[in-house]
Copies of this chain bind each other. A is one copy, B any other.
């Protein structure tokens, strides 16, 4: 299948003549810049590859002149370095594996952006995978990730099935579970309590005089955090002898369009609601649109979750809890960075955020 390889064994003599001698495929330009090896750079600089390795990494025991020669050769050959060999040899990677459920909700990209900035300057790379809210797929993705021997792994949520947890533990690297706090973390945990977020939102809305609540969400079996928010909300409703008068659950992932559609439906069925709690801001924005179309913006308040930039720009006000998504990513990244220097992760460390509720008063 794969054609012969290793048929060119560069002899030392050959190398001594300079690696520029015989390059010239379709790709290689005449600068001779191509993926070269330490060995080639060494030959060009007239030293051993060990010395090149040292020079490039800034090791102390290399004379200034040698270092210069090596640097020049590196430049000329366009040497890039090989993380595969480096990582295999040194037994440590600069990889951070990240698994998120989805990319179509802006929340996770923002977390990734946070991770990216949090990793900046550390020389570490994020490798990401999507689970599509599917635990089986998540397990497979995690397995693939682990085969790269990342130095840390960031996963979304606390509700991984047992075999996934076992696999994670067996990797013997820091495991950073993000977003959710309601559950038992394996190792590090960065996020917020969605149960509490739901509770607080309910309390705030009730305090603001809302009495007749509806709920709109999408597939809660998959978005467990939305389900936790709803459960928290309902707990507080119950405390006040209240309940959701009506609710609608979609069967696709949350979106503005879905929120709008379900809101129209719910408003028709229950015209006397004075507040609707949504599974998140996308849905709530859709709700706001529906409210505008139905001219119900004055007597009914839509409440979501996340604090999207979009929600703040809306012509009508909606309530929401601002989740520190970027921040969660950055903190997770910092924890991952730590993994490069400390061998002993302080087991069970938790970073808890409290979302700020806005748009009510």
Contacts and interface: CB of A to CB of B under 8 A. Distances in A.
Contact of A33 (B125, B145, B166, B255): B166
Contacts of A166: 29, 31, 33, 78
A203 interface: no
Contacts of A313: 255-257, 259-260, 286, 289
Nearest to A5: B91
Given A106-B109, A125-B127, A257-B309, 7 more contacts: A5-B91, A82-B147, A83-B149, A116-B130, A123-B144, A127-B128, A256-B309
A336 to B, nearest CB: 15
Contacts of A349: none
A109 B167 CA distance: 28
Interface string A314-330: 11000000000000000
A171 interface: yes
B170 A82 contact: no
Contacts of A104: 106, 109-110, 113
A130 B116 CA distance: 7
A3 interface: yes
Contacts of A172: 25, 27-28, 34-35
A88 B84 contact: yes
Interface in A78-100: 78, 80-85, 87-88, 91-93
A54 interface: no
Given A108-B109, A113-B130, A127-B125, A29 B84 contact: no
Contacts of A82: 88, 147, 149
Given A29-B166, A148-B83, A310-B256, A109 B116 contact: no
A26 interface: yes
Contacts of A80: 143, 146-147, 167, 170-171
Interface string A63-78: 0000000000000001
